[in-house]
Amino acid sequence: MKAVLFDGKGSVRLGEVPKPKLLAGKDAIVRITHAAICGSDLNILKGKIVLEKDGIMGHEGAGVVEEVGPDVKKYKPGDRVVLSYTVQCGECASCRDGLFVFCEHGGMFGHGAQWGGHGGAHAEYLRIPFADAVLEPIPDGLTEEQVLFVGDILSTGYMASEYGSIKPGDVVAVFGAGPVGLCTVAAARLWGPSVLVSVDTLDYRLEAAKRLGADVTINAARTNAAEEIKKMTGGKGCDVAIEAVGSAETLDGCLGSVKGGGNISIVGVFPFAKEMSIRQILRQQLQIRAGRANVVHMARLMSLIGRGKLDLTPLITHRMPLADAVEAYRIFGSRSENVIKVILNP
């Protein structure tokens, strides 16, 4: 089968690899019909996340079940499904607590051996371990494009809003208007903030944030975002600041814009250590919560999509065949052509 392979730092290539087979009774084989390129895939190319050479890229995908093992109970061939970016058994103590990222038997698709060595979704087929726990059925009436992001970035945006403990009427600032930040803007609206601010350095992304529900946008390349947020709140600051990038600048923006006694939610992936002043946190009496995306809400998010409460399809700016994956990675990595999300169709 064809697959996108990691070809060393800064490079991917399209190659031929063996089609995956069932290896355990709880496995399923899914024919991938839709896959997306994620910022974490770019971190692999930058050497910030380890993937062995010729490893298959990708962890955002949807498709059709082709084959199931004898112990798979929820799915049968022909079922349309979306996969979570994490692999989880669904049975260990962490999974029972809803903390899939700490599964004792899990890992991540499209990452290296330290993450379980599972194959990636940028391929024609993918073996799904623990299929009953990893897959989620796509409801009738919804398309793969409508639900594709529930397995990673939309779950991240929902969790970011949940971790911010947003209350109706709050002023909420989301730092970063990349795919995760835009999903956060869309999800945060569900909590009823009075003002929702989106901060980024690219105007086309800020325009996308407006379309998804941001009331105010701030280009941090032209103005000091923290000062602007303080100004619009009469000097108090926002009630909730959400970091959705993973950079020192955006985290400093959160700390500088949030009110005393406010909440900070951190979901950006930091590929480096970032020092924070405990004294400042103590003096401002801040509540800080951080974590990797928890996909426990996938079914809930699909229900919200089905009822018209969420629509993330505007994030899809490019649709390309798997054969053009190298060009797709170039476009996404260079932020050219006003790209937000690229969908690959094997």
pLDDT at residue 94, rounded to an integer: 96
In this structure, the number of other CB atoms found within 10 A of the CB of residue 46 comes to 12
Nearest to 127 by CA among 24, 216, 267, 52: 24
CB contact at 8 A, 230 and 237: yes
Counting residues of the chain whose pLDDT is more than 70, the rounded percentage is 100
| CATH level 2 (architecture), domain 154-290 | 3-Layer(aba) Sandwich (3.40)
Fold of 2-152+294-345: Quinone Oxidoreductase; Chain A, domain 1 (3.90.180)
- CA pair distance 343, 322, nearest whole angstrom: 9
- CA pair distance 344, 248, nearest whole angstrom: 31
CB contact at 8 A, 188 and 154: no
Q: Provide the residue ranges of all domains of the chain, joining segments of one domain with +.
A: 2-152+294-345, 154-290
pLDDT in tens, 3-53: 999 999 999 999 999 999 999 999 999 999 999 999 999 999 998 888 999
Residue 112: pLDDT above 90?
Answer: no
CB contact at 8 A, 242 and 174: yes
pLDDT in tens, 293-341: 889 999 999 999 999 999 999 999 999 999 999 999 999 999 999 999 9
- CA pair distance 243, 66, nearest whole angstrom: 39
pLDDT at residue 50, rounded to an integer: 87
β-bridge partners, 287: 263
Mean of per-residue pLDDT scores for the chain: 96
